[in-house]
Amino acid sequence: MGKNGAKRTSLTDILQDGLSREAGHGSAAEEATIKQSLLERPRFSIKARLTLMFFVFFLISAVVSVAAMFMLSMINDRVRFVSLADKFANEIQSVRRSEKNYFLYGSDLTEVRQHLDSAYVILDQAALELGHVVGRAEISSLRDYLTSYQRLVDTFLVLGGGAGFKESAEFQQKAQSLRGYGSKLLELSLDISRKERLLISNTIGKAKQVQIALLVVLLAFSVFIASYISRHIISRLGRLMEATQHFASGNFLPITPRRKYKDEFSHLAIALNHMMFELDRRQNILVETHKLRAIGNLTAGIAHELNNPLNNIILTSEMMKDGYQDWTDEEIRDMINDLVTQGQRAQQVVKNLLDFARESETTMEYLYIDKLIDETIRLSRNQIKISKIEIREEIADNLPPIYGDRKLLIQVFLNLLLNAIDAMPNGGVVTVRVEEEKKTGFLSIHISDTGVGIPSHILSSIFTPFFTTKPTGRGTGLGLAVSKGIIEKHGGSIEVESRVGEGTTFTVHLPIVPIPA
């Protein structure tokens, strides 16, 4: 036994190591290839892209700010010159009033000279600060007219006191020239002020247009940045999230490169691929381990189920062999009957095992579940009467048909019904309820009992082959395993709920198939 056990252990280890190495080599090579394809692309990180885009955004914002400052500076210079032009015009108007008083009322020209000096100061200030804005030609023209006007005023101041000067032709000629220069100065100053106001209005209009244009460009670039972030970042995150969902559902498809450049997401994709390949490798090892464990459990179950009848057969045969002459005919007949019974028990174990292992031929047809339930109850009627069981049927009307094998489905329902009866040794109620699940397109068959129930710690093992809670000799532990295989072969599923002391409910889901016209 020790040697055999050692051989089995080493064989299991060899199979596990071989499967692990085979899965590991394949996944490792594929992982390395995909990793290389992800890393061999030129690098253009998302950080660099965002930095570049925000730098461009900053440049556009800076251009907008500089343009606004430049426009404001121009408008401020224009406003200052208009203010100086208005002051100059006011001084010229004061000069003209003093001039008028001189010619009409003979007042002194000293006041005229004071206003002229103020006008000179304003004109020099304009030439010094704003000559590059309004043009030196205009200031030069004003200065020429102002100089000519001042010379005439000086002439009047020098000759004004002479006898008969005001009645001379020279006085009239110079007075006419003085009025002309004064009028021209006032006209030029007012014209310059008007032109500058017009320029200010035009500059403000252009500033608005430039600002609107730059804001439109800024808005377009902002939309581009948002679109880029959505397309290159959020979409990439969505793809990685979709890949993780595939991994969670068991779809181990690696993330392959789609873009020209690699970035931070490339390293995240490599990490996710490594996780996926590792999960796939571990799952393969786990599946193979479970297979080996299932084979071990199956072998142990077969050995256990066959060992008892074989031991009885051997013991009875040895007894017959050793004391054949001493046994009466009736005793020999009892021993032979015992041999037949134990042989039939072993044969039943083998038959159940073959039913579980092989694919039997099926005859698929349209079936109505209410008729199958009625036939199942009719087959178990004697057992129901003996066990003092009450059957309650809650079957909905006008149920749609299913498509399946009549004998196999009756075998499933009969097995579930007999299990329910065995769970109630002192009698009870079995409820068979059938309803349509319109949202899922399935029929649900619920078989409930009021028996002893199944403990929660073994509830997950009841569909395992050769697992049974019945006493030795009363069950092989293959009934529920075979039933589950039959239901899954029909595209359905079987579930169980149980509470100790309250009862158990088996629920079978079978797909509805419409009858073609």
Chain centre to alpha carbon of residue 43: 25
Q: How far is CA 332 from CA 291, 324, 337, 340, in A?
A: 46, 8, 9, 12
157, 76, 80: which is closest to 116 by C-alpha?
Answer: 157
Q: Which domains does the chain have, with CATH numbers?
A: 2-41+257-322 (no CATH), 50-214 (1.20.120.1730), 361-511 (3.30.565.10)
**pLDDT score for 286:** 72
**pLDDT score for 20:** 45
Output the tens digit of pLDDT for each of the chain's 517 residues.
444 443 444 434 444 444 444 444 446 676 677 666 666 666 656 677 777 877 887 887 787 788 778 878 877 877 777 787 788 788 888 888 888 887 777 777 777 888 888 888 887 777 766 554 455 677 777 788 888 888 888 887 777 655 566 677 777 888 888 888 888 888 887 887 787 788 778 878 887 887 788 788 888 888 887 787 777 677 667 777 777 776 666 666 777 766 666 666 666 777 777 777 777 777 777 767 766 666 666 666 666 667 777 877 888 788 777 776 777 778 778 788 878 877 877 777 777 666 655 555 667 888 999 999 998 888 888 788 888 889 999 988 888 899 888 888 988 998 899 888 888 888 899 999 999 988 888 999 999 999 888 888 888 778 777 666 665 545 556 778 888 888 988 889 999 999 888 899 999 999 987 755 4
403, 395, 404: which is closest to 436 by C-alpha?
Answer: 395
**pLDDT score for 7:** 40
Q: Which residue type, as a one-letter code, is found at position 516?
A: P
**pLDDT score for 388:** 85
Dihedral angle sign, alpha carbons of residues 237, 242, 246, 252: negative
Length of the chain in terms of residues written = 517
* SS3 assignment, position 206: helix
Please report how many Cα atoms fall inside a 13 Å half-sphere around the Cα of residue 350, on the Cβ side: 10
Q: Which residues are CB-contacts of 225 (< 8 A; sequence separation ≥ 6)?
A: 53, 54, 57
Beta-strand relationship, 402-405 and 364-367: antiparallel
Measured CA to CA, the distance from residue 276 to residue 97 in angstroms comes to 98
**pLDDT score for 2:** 40
3-state helix, strand, coil in the chain (%, to 5): 70, 10, 20
**pLDDT score for 24:** 44
Beta-strand relationship, 493-499 and 503-511: antiparallel
**Please, are residues 463 and 484 in contact by the beta-carbon 8 Å criterion?**
yes
Measured CA to CA, the distance from residue 96 to residue 324 in angstroms comes to 165
Q: Which residues are CB-contacts of 286 (< 8 A; sequence separation ≥ 6)?
A: none
Measured CA to CA, the distance from residue 81 to residue 333 in angstroms comes to 139
Q: How far is CA 39 from CA 3, 36, 269, in A?
A: 52, 5, 10
Backbone angles phi, psi at 449, to 5 degrees: -130, 170
**pLDDT score for 21:** 43
This prediction has a pTM of 0.40
Helix ranges (DSSP H) in 249-263: none
> What is the 8-class DSSP label of residue 319?
H
Q: How far is CA 8 from CA 2, 78, 281, 292, 397, in A?
A: 10, 103, 24, 11, 57
* SS3 assignment, position 103: helix
∠ at Cα 401 (398, 402), nearest 5°?
A: 145
Q: How far is CA 116 from CA 60, 91, 99, in A?
A: 50, 7, 11
**pLDDT score for 468:** 66
**pLDDT score for 354:** 66
DSSP states of 151-184 as a string? HHHHHHHHHTTSTTSTTSHHHHHHHHHHHHHHHH
Q: Which residues are CB-contacts of 115 (< 8 A; sequence separation ≥ 6)?
A: 91, 92, 94, 95, 98
Q: Which residues are CB-contacts of 5 (< 8 A; sequence separation ≥ 6)?
A: none
